Amino acid sequence: MLEVQYKGKNIFDILELGVDEAIEFFKEEKDVIAKIKPLSDVGLGYVKLGQSSDTLSGGEAQRVKLASFLGKGKAQGHILFIFDEPTTGLHFHDIKKLLDSFNALIEQGHSVLVIEHNLDVIRSADWVIDLGPEGGEGGGTLLYAGQPEGLKKVKDSYTGKFL
């Protein structure tokens, strides 16, 4: 099979391409681009096409699922998406892509609930629920529910102090 090539690459070479590299390589193949671009849109441009799913982190796996829904458009009805710290390990640029993807889901009529500590994500939310004041046994108390800017006024909120 390795003797079969497309644009000078065999299947092994293609599976070694990162998503962003593959988008460039297949730029004239609109059907291929439509399938893999959502992965880049959620900040997974560095993942290799042939990478096994069991090598992905939890956050990466969540973003693969997000990409699959973004690729389907409005066809699947209204869904509540719950993400648990999806920005862990992401570069600032990729966090922006992820936020854009969340907004795309919302524009398609879906709802997005994010459990997150990243202040940029918290600032971009339309509604924040802050539990605390500590974690574990010292937490669990509702400190605030409302728009992010109001959280700054809650003296017991660590999140509010950093916003």
CATH number of the domain where residue 103 is located: 3.40.50.300
- Expressed as residue numbers, the domain containing 88 is 55-125
Eight-state DSSP code of residue 18: B
pLDDT 10s digits, 51-102: 999 999 888 888 898 898 887 766 667 889 999 988 887 888 888 989 999 9
Q: Where are the alpha helices (DSSP H) in the chain?
A: 11-15, 19-25, 30-41, 58-72, 92-107, 119-124, 148-151, 158-162
Q: Is the pLDDT of residue 128 over 80?
A: yes
> Per the structure block, which two tokens stand in for 14?
């293609």
Pairing between strand 80-84 and 128-132?
Answer: unpaired
Specify if 105 maps to a domain: yes
Say yes or no to pLDDT of 105 above 70.
yes
Instruction: With respect to residue 96, please indicate whether it lies within any of the assigned structural domains.
Output: yes
pLDDT at position 116 is: 94
Judged by DSSP in three states, 36 sits in: helix
Residue 132 lies in a domain: no
* Helix, strand, coil share (%) of the chain residues, nearest 5: 50, 15, 35
pLDDT at 1 over 80: no
Of the two residues 90 and 49, the one the predictor is more confident about is: 49
103: confidence class by pLDDT, cuts 50, 70, 90: very high
Which residue, among 128, 124, 119, 114, has the nearest Cα to 83 in the 3D structure? Answer: 114
- pLDDT number for residue 117: 92
Q: pLDDT for 139-149, tens place per residue?
A: 999 999 999 99
* Structural domain contains residue 163: no
Distance of CA 143 to the CA centre of its chain: 27
How many whole angstroms separate alpha carbon 101 and alpha carbon 43?
A: 9
**Within a domain: residue 84?**
yes
Work out whether the CA dihedral 76, 51, 42, 159 comes out positive or negative: positive
Question: 109: number of CA atoms within 13 Å, CB side?
Answer: 6
Do the domain assignments include residue 79? yes
Could you tell me if 95 and 43 are in contact, meaning their C-beta atoms sit under 8 angstroms apart? yes
Token pair for residue 132?
């605390």
In a domain, 97, yes or no: yes
Total number of domains constituting the chain: 1
> What is the chain's Cα-based Rg?
19
Say what the pLDDT of residue 130 is: 96
